[in-house]
A and B are shown apart, each in its own frame.
Chain A
Amino acid sequence: NAGVMQNPRHLVRRRGQEARLRCSPMKGHSHVYWYRQLPEEGLKFMVYLQKENIIDESGMPKERFSAEFPKEGPSILRIQQVVRGDSAAYFCASSPLAVSSYEQYFGPGTRLTVT
């Protein structure tokens, strides 16, 4: 059973470009969480999605950031007009369908560098 997959693993963008980060949850998982790890900091929650729905985006910056988890395909975290401060590691985690589940399985992360 494949784990959570994220791609690309490393992404370099120039200021003003768009970054698209993909997360494929584990098979059978329909809940996805995105976290951001700024340099030398802990991980901070950004957004929680279920299939086709954003449930909690309280940790996501109001501008330039968006997330989706379509019925088919991976979850996408999109950052428009990137700035140097967006350089970070972005992790996604998935959990199973059951509401009572509390396990989150993390992907390997995408390291975004903005030059």
Chain B
Amino acid sequence: AQKVTQAQTEISVVEKEDVTLDCVYETRDTTYYLFWYKQPPSGELVFLIRRNSFDEQNEISGRYSWNFQKSTSSFNFTITASQVVDSAVYFCALSDRAGGTSYGKLTFGQGTILTVHP
């Protein structure tokens, strides 16, 4: 069975601090995908990134960066120079490929509540 663990329930930082959100996953599949979603107070889910299991390159997008380490089954997310607008719940999720045994459905972590104070 697939499992995603986000050990940090809540994180509170002051604006301009860097913050890293941890994500550890478990899967028996050799081909899988990892995702991060943001859920702002308005409630919708905002897609941030998708990474496949064969691509271990780190990725940077503006103030966001992701560190994928297959050896430790981790896919951590760092926000550099955090801003108040980054305050949200962040979810890490795992999926096998569509057509695999779980039809591509997503397994989500419990989420990390990030609060950025001015």
Could you tell me which A residues sit within 8 Å of B by CB distance? 31, 33, 35, 41-45, 48, 55-56, 59, 89, 91, 93, 95, 99-106, 108-109, 111
Q: A44 near B103 (CB under 8 angstroms)?
A: no
Q: Given the complex of chains A and B, what is the CA–CA distance between A72 and B71 in angstroms?
A: 46
Say if the beta carbon of B97 comes within 8 Å of chain A: yes
Q: Given the complex of chains A and B, what is the CA–CA distance between A42 and B112 in angstroms?
A: 9
Say if the beta carbon of B99 comes within 8 Å of chain A: yes
Q: Given the complex of chains A and B, what is the CA–CA distance between A89 and B43 in angstroms?
A: 9
Q: B47 near A106 (CB under 8 angstroms)?
A: yes
Q: A41 near B110 (CB under 8 angstroms)?
A: yes
Q: B97 near A104 (CB under 8 angstroms)?
A: no
Name 24 A/B residue pairs within 8 A (Cβ), A-sorted: A31-B98, A33-B106, A35-B106, A35-B108, A41-B110, A41-B111, A42-B111, A43-B108, A48-B103, A56-B103, A56-B105, A95-B98, A95-B104, A99-B98, A100-B97, A100-B99, A101-B98, A102-B33, A102-B97, A102-B98, A102-B104, A104-B95, A106-B45, A108-B44
